[in-house]
Amino acid sequence: MIKQPRYPLKAADSPTLQALIRNLSDALPHGGAPDAERLASALSQAVGAGAWLPRERRHANPERYARHLIYADPRGQFSLLAIVWAPGQSSPVHNHRTWCGIAIYQGSLTETIFEKPPGKVTLVAAKREIRNKGSTIIDSTGLAIHQFSNHGRVNAISLHVYGVGGHQVSTGINRIFNSNHA
């Protein structure tokens, strides 16, 4: 019989997760936007700490990227997810309804950043960045429009922290854009 993992994990499951949760909490004034530098530092330390993410939170879905809730702050200030990207998978073009922080835990992802030129309805790809293991991205406004893609040959894993409670993870984060219109 396969032991089913608890969902989400508890901070006591890993010293690295304990430190990450403590550092994320310290980066967040109650009800406010995060301190971007402290948020980036917390994520960087976690992805630099080795392979602490449990195996069951590193599985890909062959049809679309897999989202695994790692931790939900009991006060509803943030949620931490691991997103697993099989080769060839991409997110939709989106931005967020809240601030977010992202760190590449394994592999690499290509982030395409979109802009909407003044007076236009069409989004244009303005920049592409390859984000390798250890890279962090902080959007303290939630307004950046982007897409992530795994162009590699192996699964990539990214850690995402969002300024919403665990109950809002499936409905309260992404604002999806048709890539042709805003």
pLDDT in tens, 52-61: 898 888 999 9
Number of neighbouring beta carbons within 10 Å of residue 179 = 15
Among 65, 66, 96, which residue's Cα sits nearest to residue 173?
Answer: 96
pLDDT band at 179 (very low <50, low <70, confident <90, very high): low
pTM above 0.85, yes or no: yes
What per-residue confidence (pLDDT) applies to 4? Answer: 39
CA distances from 108 to 154, 158, 170 (A): 9, 9, 24
- Structure confidence by residue, pLDDT tens digits, 79-93: 999 999 999 999 999
Distance CA 87, CA 162 (A): 24
For tokens 């992802």, name the residue: 109
Rounded to an integer, what is the distance from CA 36 to the centroid of its chain?
A: 15
Rounded to an integer, what is the distance from CA 25 to the centroid of its chain?
A: 16
pLDDT band at 5 (very low <50, low <70, confident <90, very high): very low
Per-residue pLDDT, averaged over 89-101, amounts to: 93
For tokens 């959007």, name the residue: 139
pLDDT band at 11 (very low <50, low <70, confident <90, very high): low
pLDDT over 70 percentage in the chain? 89
pLDDT band at 68 (very low <50, low <70, confident <90, very high): very high
What per-residue confidence (pLDDT) applies to 129? Answer: 97
Contact 123, 182 (CB under 8 A): yes
Distance CA 133, CA 11 (A): 23
pLDDT at 136 over 70: yes
How many residues does this entry show for the chain? 182
Per-residue pLDDT, averaged over 168-173, amounts to: 80
pLDDT at 2 over 50: no
Rounded to an integer, what is the distance from CA 161 to the centroid of its chain?
A: 6
Burial of 28 (0-12, 13-18, 19+ CB in 10 A): buried
What per-residue confidence (pLDDT) applies to 180? Answer: 56
Q: Is 168 helix (H, G, I), strand (E, B) or coil?
A: helix
> Residue 30: which residues within 8 A CB-CB, separation 6 or more?
75, 77
Which tokens belong to 123?
Answer: 């989004």
pLDDT band at 175 (very low <50, low <70, confident <90, very high): confident
What per-residue confidence (pLDDT) applies to 148? Answer: 97
